[in-house]
């Protein structure tokens, strides 16, 4: 079975809409490279559409009505948005779930050191990466520094054209005989991912202590610009990401080269689909933008926390169901979900890793994965046949371009999503997302057509009755 190339099916009007959506997405991922930044802008977009915070609704003891928009945020890193539907919530929700964290380098708590007149920040990589891909790239630093007085300082360095950038050095080829004999996992090891941040010594007069002058210079600049000390780095969350904006890729501008397509190429269309609901849908529409997926969905902001369950319980209480657990269980058991995470795009340069007739192809639309996991479907949600048929009918009924896929050959590797966590509630769930080349690399590739079809597919799903 073949699914046609979506590009061959578009009208001029659709192509214009596609280009506009891709431009908006490119802007979004260029300025939002951390989970905090994604959530902050998503809240701004939601409030512009009339959404109110769940806390406000609880404080006002306001009963929610069909058409009301509500959002809830956890620690500034995870977000749930809901548009209350005409049906009672116990009849189920239509849920979109994606994640807003991406592989990166996190700066350690005690990071700053000087070695041979160079100042470095130590890092600990976050998520699955090929470490050698992160050397010799221009890098930026995004994040926050929390001070003891309760204030929080936002930091973004390396994105403006006038900003400095940072880098991790590599060994010159002329001295690389030993290095070139190592396998790819050992060419660059984790403790070698030290980011160069300075070289000029602090200018001092009349002082005998000449130790660590480069480090002291960096600290003086941090205090001057941000009002932070070395001790404040103990309570910082600073992320090292590729510097610079996402760009159109190819002479035909058909693709986007950018950082964080996994999973913002799914979370952004999910957000836009949610906010496109002007009137009350038949069933309540709920979109989850969650943190920590890349490291197992753990912690208070990960999908394994009780955040999702607690928010749904509050929504039930605000729609007349009190605080009992039975209504919550009925609501979740009756719900449907698209677990929106990227698929491994078929790469002809590495064809041996894929099984061609069960691969996702760039430009062929939204990719559905009945199951993910590794090897014998380990760690996977496996959508039931009846639900797959229902989703097929939904996508075809709205003329969405879609395809099916697996994550490469059976014994080649694999991966997981948040789907199995939601399935534990009895929610019907299937994985779907945008095919991506070079997944988890600093710069990834996606097709504008697949991005557009994800948006259209998510819109269609949220209207399911």
Q: What is the pLDDT of residue 207?
A: 65
Which tens digit of pLDDT belongs to each residue from 227-267? 999 999 999 999 999 999 999 999 999 999 999 999 999 99
Q: What is the pLDDT of residue 208?
A: 66
Helix (H, G, I), strand (E, B) or coil at 390: helix
User: Is the pLDDT confidence value at 370 over 70?
Assistant: yes
- The yes-or-no answer to whether 6-102+259-462 and 104-242 have a common fold is no
Q: What is the pLDDT of residue 383?
A: 92
State residue 321 phi and psi, 5-degree precision: -105, 15
Cβ pair 82, 315 in contact under 8 A: yes
* CATH class assigned to 6-102+259-462: alpha beta
The H or E element containing residue 146 is: strand 139-146
Which tens digit of pLDDT belongs to each residue from 188-223? 999 999 999 999 999 887 666 778 999 999 999 999
User: What share of the chain in percent tops pLDDT 90?
Assistant: 91
Mean pLDDT of 133-154: 97
d(CA 317, CA 124): 42
Mean pLDDT of 332-360: 95
Predicted TM-score (pTM) of the model is: 0.95
User: Is the pLDDT confidence value at 4 over 90?
Assistant: no
Among candidates 391, 376, 380, 295, which has minimal Cα distance to 338? 391
User: Is the pLDDT confidence value at 1 over 90?
Assistant: no
d(CA 277, CA 286): 11
What's the mean pLDDT when you consider all of the chain? 95
Angle between helices 261-275 and 12-31 (to 10 degrees): 120
Find residue 378's DSSP bridge partners.
374
Cβ pair 402, 368 in contact under 8 A: yes
d(CA 214, CA 199): 6
- Domain ranges within the chain, ordered by starting residue: 6-102+259-462, 104-242
Find residue 377's DSSP bridge partners.
none
Q: What is the pLDDT of residue 413?
A: 78
Q: How confident is the model at residue 167 (pLDDT cuts 50, 70, 90)?
A: very high
CATH of the structural domain 104-242, one choice from 1.10.3720.10, 3.40.640.10, 3.40.50.980, 2.30.250.10: 2.30.250.10
């Amino acid at each position: 079975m073949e699914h046609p190339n979506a590009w061959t099916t578009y009208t001029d009007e659709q192509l214009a809409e596609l280009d506009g959506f891709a431009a908006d997405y490119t802007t979004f991922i260029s300025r939002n490279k951390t989970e905090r930044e994604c959530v902050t802008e998503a809240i701004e977009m939601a409030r512009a559409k009339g959404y109110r915070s769940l806390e406000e609704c609880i404080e006002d003891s306001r009963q929610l009505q069909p058409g009301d928009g509500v959002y809830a945020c956890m620690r500034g890193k995870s977000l749930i948005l809901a548009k209350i539907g005409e049906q009672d919530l116990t009849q189920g929700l239509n849920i979109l779930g994606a994640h807003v964290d991406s592989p990166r380098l996190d700066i350690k708590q005690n990071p700053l050191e000087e070695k041979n007149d160079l100042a470095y920040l130590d890092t600990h990589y976050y998520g699955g990466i090929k470490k050698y891909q992160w050397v010799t790239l221009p890098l930026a630093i995004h994040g926050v520094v929390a001070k003891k007085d309760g204030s929080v300082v936002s930091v973004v360095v390396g994105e403006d054209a006038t900003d400095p950038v940072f880098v991790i050095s590599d060994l010159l080829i002329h001295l690389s005989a030993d290095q070139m004999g190592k396998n790819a996992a050992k060419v660059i090891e984790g403790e070698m991912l030290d980011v160069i941040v300075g070289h000029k010594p602090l200018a001092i007069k009349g002082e005998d202590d000449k130790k660590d002058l480069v480090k002291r210079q960096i600290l003086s600049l941090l205090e001057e610009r941000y009002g932070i000390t070395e001790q404040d780095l103990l309570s910082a969350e600073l992320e090292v990401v590729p510097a610079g904006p996402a760009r159109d890729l190819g002479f035909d501008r058909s693709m986007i080269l950018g950082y964080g397509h996994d999973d913002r190429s799914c979370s952004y269309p999910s957000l836009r689909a949610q906010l496109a609901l002007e009137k009350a849908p038949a069933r309540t529409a709920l979109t989850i933008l969650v943190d920590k997926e890349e490291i197992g969905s753990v912690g208070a902001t990960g999908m394994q926390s009780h955040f999702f369950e607690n928010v749904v319980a509050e929504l039930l209480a605000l729609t007349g169901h009190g605080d009992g657990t039975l209504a919550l269980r009925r609501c979740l058991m009756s719900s449907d979900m698209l677990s929106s995470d990227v698929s491994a795009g078929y790469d002809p340069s590495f064809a041996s890793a894929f099984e061609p007739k069960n691969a996702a192809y760039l430009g062929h639309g939204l990719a559905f994965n009945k199951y993910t996991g590794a090897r014998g479907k380990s760690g996977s949600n496996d959508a039931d046949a009846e639900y797959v048929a229902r989703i097929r009918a939904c996508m075809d009924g709205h003329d969405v371009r879609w395809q099916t896929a697996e994550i490469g050959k059976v014994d080649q590797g694999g991966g997981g999503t948040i789907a199995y966590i939601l399935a534990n509630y009895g929610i019907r769930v299937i994985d779907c997302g945008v095919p991506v080349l070079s997944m988890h690399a600093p710069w990834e590739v996606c097709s504008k057509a697949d991005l557009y079809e994800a948006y259209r597919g998510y819109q269609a799903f949220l209207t399911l009755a």
